[in-house]
A and B are shown apart, each in its own frame.
Chain A
Amino acid sequence: MAASEHIVGRGIGNKLILFTVVLVAVIWMLPIAWTLLLSFKPNSELMISTASAFHPPYTLKNYADIFQTSGVFRWLWNSAVVSVGVTVGILVLSSLAGYGFARAEFKGRDIIFVLVLLGLAVPEQAVIIARHQMFSDLKMHNTYPAIILPGLSSAFGVFLMTQYFKAIPKDIDEAAMLDNASRFKIFWKVLLPLTIPAQATLGIFSFLGAWNDYLWPLISATKPEMFTITVGMASTQTNFAQSEGLGFLMAQAIFAGLPVFVVYLFFQKYIVRAVAGAAIS
């Protein structure tokens, strides 16, 4: 994979680099290790000093407690629904639009594409006040659609997919045209399968973006049962929680981060391959 690793005479340099990166990685893990450590300490001890984290007693109570407070499960579920919804929506819309802008000609297409590209410069926050008013007027807040739909207006996916479709050799669709395939069939059967690497990339970005989105869910999902994990975790880290339930808070943070992290670990190979192996010949 790595282009230069087999070139003779670069071993020592490589070792040095590796050592440095390992060191950085250890530093990178420090915050999580610290959080993990705190999560195994009784709250009452941490209230006096977090230095107690370095010696026993340790306890699993904080984790056991999570099962008693149903909030986290519900929030994780909401986040999953929202993130999957956003991801699927973006993939469908961006693929269709990307194909359209790259391949399916119609009058005014190029102007529309430029107008859509301009949308890249519009930050979500610039429209959030007006958007909140819109959804308020429609009485749609505190629903999954309200949390999901705004994410689908992002132009990033369309831009990415358009670029990707443009990079596919045009003679493949021409061959399909000669094979009597309809526009949609060319899109669906011939070109879409070739964009799987781009779909993976876009899908990962969209999923993470939705999972980590904070501002919009914060003002749209205001009922606790509609909280995403992001908003839910914000609601737990009050000053009070930090002073009186630090260990529990840390356990919640670890627990809330765990599912998506595990999913990530499972997909990691695929993610790297998907992002990297985009070349089609």
Chain B
Amino acid sequence: MSSIELDSVSKRFGSVEVISELSLTVHSGEFVAFLGPSGCGKSTLLRMIAGLETVDGGEIRIGGERVDNLPPGARGVAMVFQHYALYPHMTVFDNLAFGLKNIGTPTEEIGRRIEEAARILEISHLLKRKPGQLSGGQRQRVAIGRALVKDPKAYLFDEPLSNLDAALRVRTRVELARLHQQTRATTIFVTHDQVEAMTLASRIVVMNARKVEQVGTPMEIYGRPATEFVARFVGSPAMNFLTINLKDRGGFASAVLGDGSVIETDVPINILPSGELRVGLRAEAIRVREDGAIPGKVEVVERLGDRTHAHIRLADGSTLVAEDKGISQVQPGDSVRLAVEGATAHLFDADGLAYHARQ
């Protein structure tokens, strides 16, 4: 397996720069997810690695070899497409064999590899069928199989699960995770679904508006989002944001909410810029408790079984989502009090940059 290095890579569509001087290294054997909303440039980046988009600046190296001038087929990567892109007129076997034949792999070797891949993916009984006769899930497996038989330097997945129904998506996710654990293949996985990124990737590259917002392990992304965008995009429900006034609490910042209540954060005050600040709180950091400091009124209650989310309006009119236990007494219209776990609070400046407690 090989590493993938992007070195100040740029891409323009006409006069619009869609990727600007982006650098990134995917280590050998690593599973990296590109996460972001649609149009953020993540697919473009993946396709640049695959050779399906030209590179307007910078270098791409796979396994140390510069590839950005090589045709897609010469880069030694395999890609699984969102719509599978199986060859409709070929049998499953021929779909898998096509790439191998094109590089002159001996027939027996092709047969052996396909047999093996088919066994792994449990599609051995489908080899004689054509894609049109397969279910969505089966097609997905064939698409993965087509990548697998090539034994590539790296796997590239372009939103491969988005066309599956919910149950199948979860199952396939787990299977992909297992597959990766066993093959330890360098993998880049493009998705707009944070759960997929969180569950599969060893590192996540969060992209927004053609920029990398943050690169980090799933827990870094979740626990220490670099920007307001990351904080909002990752985690469900989305992080609560409240405008605050700052108070020094012995070198740490205390956030004063609109209604006057105070949240004691662990963020050092000396790293904070001047100007407007907001506090970012995940729902699980805000608990409905009788002894809570902040009063509010319940507007909507979402019961998830293991926990309950309560949408609450504070006295100054701002709203947030708080968490309560699974069996919660909270009803819409109730007046409740909220307890905030200040240690997990993040602060954000006017530009959306995040400031966290020291680790």
| A interface residue numbers (CB < 8 A to B) | 169, 171-172, 174-182, 185, 189-190, 193-194, 280-281
Question: Among the listed B50, B83, B88, B132, which residue makes an inter-chain contact with A178, where contact means beta carbons less than 8 Å apart?
Answer: B50
B71 on the interface (CB 8 Å rule)?
yes
B98 on the interface (CB 8 Å rule)?
yes
| B interface residue numbers (CB < 8 A to A) | 47, 50-52, 71-74, 77-79, 81-83, 85-89, 98-99, 102-103, 132, 146, 150
Q: Are B102 and A175 in contact (CB under 8 A)?
A: no
Q: Are A180 and B87 in contact (CB under 8 A)?
A: no
Q: How far is the CA of A194 from the CA of B83 in the complex (A)?
A: 16
A180 and B132 in contact (CB under 8 A), knowing A169-B85, A175-B87, A280-B88?
no
Question: Among the listed B85, B89, B102, B132, which residue makes an inter-chain contact with A185, where contact means beta carbons less than 8 Å apart?
Answer: B102
Q: Are A281 and B79 in contact (CB under 8 A)?
A: no
Instruction: Name the B residues within 8 Å of A176 (CB-CB).
Output: 87, 98
Q: Are A193 and B78 in contact (CB under 8 A)?
A: no
Q: Are A180 and B73 in contact (CB under 8 A)?
A: yes
Measured between C-beta atoms, what is the minimum distance from B60 to chain A in Å?
15
Q: How far is the CA of A37 from the CA of B336 in the complex (A)?
A: 97
Instruction: Name the A residues within 8 Å of B85 (CB-CB).
Output: 169, 171-172, 174-175
Q: How far is the CA of A176 from the CA of B100 in the complex (A)?
A: 11
Q: Are A190 and B73 in contact (CB under 8 A)?
A: no
- Residue in A closest to B132 when the chains form the complex, CB atoms: A281
Q: How far is the CA of A280 from the CA of B87 in the complex (A)?
A: 11
Q: Are B87 and A174 in contact (CB under 8 A)?
A: no
Q: How far is the CA of A179 from the CA of B88 in the complex (A)?
A: 15
Q: Are B79 and A178 in contact (CB under 8 A)?
A: yes
Q: Which one of A172, A178, A280 has the highest number of Cβ atoms from chain B below 10 Å of its Cβ?
A: A178
Instruction: Name the A residues within 8 Å of B150 (CB-CB).
Output: 179
Q: Are B73 and A193 in contact (CB under 8 A)?
A: no
Q: Are B81 and A181 in contact (CB under 8 A)?
A: no
A177 and B87 in contact (CB under 8 A), knowing A171-B81, A185-B102, A281-B132?
no
Q: How far is the CA of A179 from the CA of B75 in the complex (A)?
A: 10
Sample (11) of A-B pairs whose CB atoms are under 8 Å apart: A172-B85, A172-B86, A174-B47, A174-B72, A174-B81, A177-B52, A179-B146, A180-B73, A180-B102, A181-B73, A280-B88
Q: How far is the CA of A177 from the CA of B99 in the complex (A)?
A: 9
Q: Are A177 and B83 in contact (CB under 8 A)?
A: no
Measured between C-beta atoms, what is the minimum distance from A169 to chain B in Å?
6
Measured between C-beta atoms, what is the minimum distance from B91 to chain A in Å?
12
- Residue in B closest to A193 when the chains form the complex, CB atoms: B89
- Residue in A closest to B94 when the chains form the complex, CB atoms: A189
Q: Are B73 and A177 in contact (CB under 8 A)?
A: yes
- Residue in A closest to B47 when the chains form the complex, CB atoms: A174
Nearest 10 pairs of A and B residues by beta carbon: A180-B73, A179-B99, A171-B85, A175-B85, A180-B102, A193-B89, A177-B72, A171-B81, A178-B72, A172-B85
Q: How far is the CA of A175 from the CA of B131 in the complex (A)?
A: 14
Instruction: Name the A residues within 8 Å of B72 (CB-CB).
Output: 174, 177-178
19 further A-B contacts with Cβ under 8 Å, apart from A178-B72, A179-B98, A189-B98, are A169-B85, A171-B82, A171-B83, A172-B85, A172-B86, A174-B47, A174-B50, A174-B81, A175-B81, A175-B146, A179-B73, A179-B99, A180-B74, A180-B102, A181-B73, A190-B87, A190-B98, A193-B89, A194-B89
Q: How far is the CA of A222 from the CA of B51 in the complex (A)?
A: 57
Instruction: Name the B residues within 8 Å of A174 (CB-CB).
Output: 47, 50, 52, 72, 79, 81, 85
